[in-house]
Structure 1
Amino acid sequence: MSNLMDYLDWRGDLTFREAPFNEVDNLILAQLVYVEFAGIVPAPGEEGTITVKEACELFFAAHDRKEIMERVSMTKTAAFVLEKMAQTERFCNAQLFGYINDISKEEQSQFSVVCVRLDDKSIYVSFSGTDNTIVGWRENFNMGYLSETPGQLKAVDYLNHMVKEDWKKIRVGGHSKGGNLSVYASVKCDRNIQKRIVKVYSNDGPGFSEEMIQSKEYQRMLPKIKTILPESSIVGMLLEHQEKFEVVKSSQSGIQQHDAMSWEVLGSHFVYVEEVAPQSILLDETMKKWIFQLTKEQREEIVDTVFSMLDDAKIYTVDDFYNSKWKKVQELMKAKSKLSPETQELFSQALRMLWKTGNQTVKKSVKQAVLEKVEEANSLFSTDKSKKSMKSSKK
């Protein structure tokens, strides 16, 4: 099936004045921010812009294709999306500016964003999802116990300070954690900016706390939020969603469906299915039940401990983790043995709870499936019995 690259081949010769912005354009721009634009795209406060075509030339002058492909992260293909965009009439002259890539170990925050001005004069603010750094992944887990993360606060501040009065039509979007930041920033930013936001895109982005989604400010922005999930979504099903979401078909399976390059495209839209896969719903129900059995303090202690162990083993990126030598694995095991007896017991208790919750969820699902089959059989039996009765009465 077709994907983002095929879409760029098919629709690349049409400008935004000729063919209006659509949901596939959104996902392409949400991928664009994964490219390392430091020293290429002007930062906030710096004058000027750079076109997609110019940025592409500078990026590939500094980066080797083989080096990009050797990375572990599924977002590495963003560089090749940039390359394809630069070859199209639709995107080659789009202007990039306001780029930030801020990774703070002290704040436990990985924050990246870029603005794109299209030829229809609209602006797309693209917030990045989790990159290849362990700090970035930690911020995702921090959402499980923090009311707001440093990245979310930075996203709000970015919109409030970056948006200019002449920006009449604004779209805000992102993939993965970037989708969460897009919604959060749009909900919390100044009202005069909110009025000019025409759409907020969360592409397989995690949700929020119950308190957040029930707030008046969230409800006010709700009609503008568009959430898109792959059929076996894992990341996007985390935490709470109130908005309706659309489910797109993916050429991959399991966690690999989080890769936007696997989302199937037909024309100017995604290929949709009716609902997320049963296994995704099961995992979501299991994780939520398990998480809510733990106190916020317990969640924080578990996250702190796991990432401290990774730090002790000098594992700073996903590549470090996957390419770890046996020595680093031993260092991780040593770090675990240094935990206090109380923390070790918390880990054991949490794992027991997760196992128990998973079993209960699966049993409930199987029971429900059996009941549905029994009801279906009863219905068929009743129909068959009714037909026999009708034949008998005719005789």
Structure 2
Amino acid sequence: MGNIVDYVRTDFRTFAEHPFSAVDSLVLSELSYIRLPLVVPVFGAARSIDTIALTGLLRAEDFPMMFAADSQQVNSTRLDLLVAVAESPRFRGLRVGEYIQRDDADREQQFAAMTFDLGDCTGIRGSFGPGGLLYVAFRGTDGTLLGWKEDFNMAFRCPVPSQESAAKYLSSILDRSAGVPGGDAPAVMVGGHSKGGNMAVYASVRMAARDLDAMQWLADESGESQLPMIEATSMAGRRTPDKQLRIGSADPGDAGNISRGVQDNQNLPTDSTTQHVQPAQRNRYAARIRRVFSHDGPGFPKRLESAAFDAVASRVDKTVPQSSVVGMLMDDGLPHRVIEADAVGIMQHLGMSWQVQDGEFVAAPGLSATAMFAGSTVNAWMLGIDPADRRKVIDELYVIFSTPGYRSFGELAEHWTTALPVIIDAARKTDRETRRLVAGVLAELPATAWRNLPQVPQLVIDSLR
């Protein structure tokens, strides 16, 4: 038993001998945290999917930039993972490209994505067909205040900018990988860790919505979607339970609603990795998405009640550790598997702590009592406070903790003695009603939310009184 680095270093089976699993998904999701160098093709620069061999990332001169976003220990472990994957016979042939990274303070967005091409890995084409397999990975939250601010924005807003960007990214990958008429399009899997898992689910639902014509694409002058929630607006997607669960079962009258006019009535591929994507099905967006992986990813402010969500739900593979807090936030009703981790408390959120045996995650009996308490406490707060107040609290906390000028929580912790007085002073300058609201929220949140700076809540609460 070990973690995913141990798995990659020791399990030499091909994908024909051991099919693609959730463990492989976590490996690729963890690699998506690496800040890729300029040698990697950028997103959208080519008409087709543009990638390079993963071994091309092993350039020591690029490592300081690639591994600078998190703690030294986390960065070191991710470098170990990259080297192990590059050396592994299982992943030999892996390619990566279509890289995008967007950090936009004005839009409060921290977004990154990349696409892995597994087509040249031994056993992949035998399982998925001549087109092979693409894995679209969305990066989770990094250690920056900006990244966590967007996470918290999910408490009152859907979609947030990164969810919109994820949908546009996945749409482009599906479009540009479709190939020529009569050819074999690659199958696609989508996934991510933490916020990346949430974006994988959201983007996949958006693709299913296109297939069902179940979403109104409303935009303001800037072109950004103004939908507060995904909702089915076409009765075509709501006729029968069978129709909701099998997005390929199109009625003749729906033909104009299917991408690029595909009008056949064939059922689309199931979750089986052995069923190949047929040419007639190749342009239906969600049809090519075999699995959606959410590794301890949060849910949504409310359940996405739509035929599109129902169509994707059966393909979502959600995994959470025993002490999951993040993955249990805003429960969206998706089933999940609880797995063993060798870290303590909220540190189990780190994917490198998840335990693997014989190529599969080690199952745990269930969530810990602490995790259930923390999740229920935060979710109860979410339900018990008005969305406008949620936004006010989150915005104010971001301002307070950003005042010292540090980009990340790691930098705050490193300079805590100088940062704390600035934070307290900023808290005292808020108006009385805001101080009351923020103090009440901090007092109710479980202690697990403050693992790095456990003294923060009481100090800030005292300054708000």
TM-score (norm 2): 0.72
**Closer, same or farther in 2 for the Cα pair 1:354/1:293, shift >3 Å?**
farther
Q: How does 1:27-46 map to 2 (within 5 A)?
A: 27-46=26-45
Which residue identity lines up with residue 246 of structure 1 in the other structure? R
1:193 Cα shift? 1.4
The answer to whether the 8 A contact 2:163-2:203 is kept is yes
In 2: Cα distance, 1:222 partner to 1:22 partner: 18
Q: Give me the whole-angstrom Cα distance separating, in 1, the residues matched to 2:149 and 2:318.
A: 23
Amino acid in structure 1 at the alignment position of 2:6? D
Unaligned runs of 5+ in 1: 356-395
Match of 1:279 in 2: 370
CA contact (8 A) 2:318 2:337 kept: yes
Q: Is the 8 A contact 1:51 1:92 kept in 2?
A: no
> CA 1:349/1:14 → structure 2, altered by over 3 Å: closer, same or farther?
closer
Verify: 1:51 aligned to 2:53, yes or no: yes
Q: Tell me the equivalent position of 2:18.
A: 19
Q: Give the SS at the match of 1:210.
A: coil
**Larger CA Rg, structure 1 vs 2:** 1
Q: CA offsets, 1:194-248, max 9 Å, x none?
A: 0110000000000113241x22211111110110000110110100131211010
RMSD: 2.2
The amino acid across from 2:192 in the alignment is G
Deviation for aligned residue 1:329? 1.4
> How many residues align structurally?
351
Contact 1:72/1:319 (CA < 8 Å) preserved in 2? no
Name the structure 1 match of 2:112. 112
In structure 2, distance between residues paired with 1:353 and 1:312: 23
- Report the CA distance between 1:74 and its aligned residue: 4.2
Q: Choose which of 287, 294, 301 in structure 2 pairs with 1:202.
A: 294
**Which letter maps to 1:54?**
G
Deviation at 1:291, TM superposition (A): 2.1
Question: Secondary structure of the residue that 1:46 maps to in structure 2?
Answer: coil
Q: In 2 relative to 1, CA 313–306 (structure 1 residues): closer, same or farther, beyond 3 Å?
A: same
Q: Which residue of 2 aligns with 1:165?
A: 178
User: Structure 2 CA distance, aligned partners of 1:70 and 1:303?
Assistant: 23
Q: What letter matches 2:35 in structure 1? A: E
CA drift of 1:311 comes to: 2.2
Tell me: CA distance 1:352–1:18, structure 2 relative to 1, closer, same or farther (3 Å). closer
Please, which runs of 5 or more residues in structure 2 have no aligned partner?
A: 125-131, 180-184, 212-283, 447-465
Match of 1:79 in 2: 79
Is 1:178 the equivalent of 2:196? Answer: yes
1:187 counterpart (172, 195, 205): 205
Tell me the residue number matched to 2:149.
138
- Distance of 2:444 and 2:325 partners within structure 1: 20
Decide whether the 8 Å contact of 1:68 with 1:76 is kept in 2: no
Contact 2:30/2:193 (8 A) holds in 1: yes
Partner of 1:297: 388
Is 2:415 aligned against 1:324? yes
Cα drift, residue 18 of structure 1: 4.3
Answer 1 or 2: which has greater helix percent. Answer: 1
Letter in 2 for 1:209: P
Matched, 1:266 2:357: yes
**Does the Cα contact within 8 Å between 2:96 and 2:117 map onto a contact in 1?**
yes
Residues 1:123 and 2:137 are matched in the alignment: no
- Say if 1:52 and 1:91, in contact at 8 Å, map to a contact too: no
What amino acid is the match of 2:171? N
Q: Is the 1:69–1:76 Cα contact (8 Å) retained in structure 2?
A: no
Checking the alignment, whether the CA contact within 8 Å between 1:174 and 1:182 is kept in structure 2 is: yes
| Secondary structure of 2:422 counterpart | helix
Structure 2 counterpart of 1:227, one-letter code: K
Consecutive aligned runs of 4 or more in structure 1 exceeding 4 Å deviation:
67-70, 72-76, 351-355
Give the conservation status (yes or no) of the 8 Å contact 2:167–2:202: yes
8 Å CA contact retained: 2:42, 2:99: yes
Query: Could you tell me whether the CA contact under 8 Å between 1:227 and 1:243 is conserved in 2?
Result: yes
**1:288 paired to 2:392:** no
Taking a change above 3 Å as real, the CA distance of residues 130 and 339 of structure 1, as seen in their structure-2 partners, is same
Give the aligned residue type for 1:39.
Answer: L
Within a 5 Å distance, the mapping from 1:232-381 to structure 2 comes to 232-351=323-442
Tell me the TM-score normalized by structure 1: 0.84
Shift of 1:126: 0.5
SS at match of 1:106: coil
Q: Which has the higher mean CA deviation after the structures are superposed, 227-236 or 72-81?
A: 72-81
Match of 2:460 in 1: none
- Whole-Å Cα distance in 1 between the matches of residues 97 and 311 of structure 2? 29
Looking at structure 1, the residues matched to 69 and 195 of structure 2 have their Cα atoms a distance apart, in angstroms, of 23
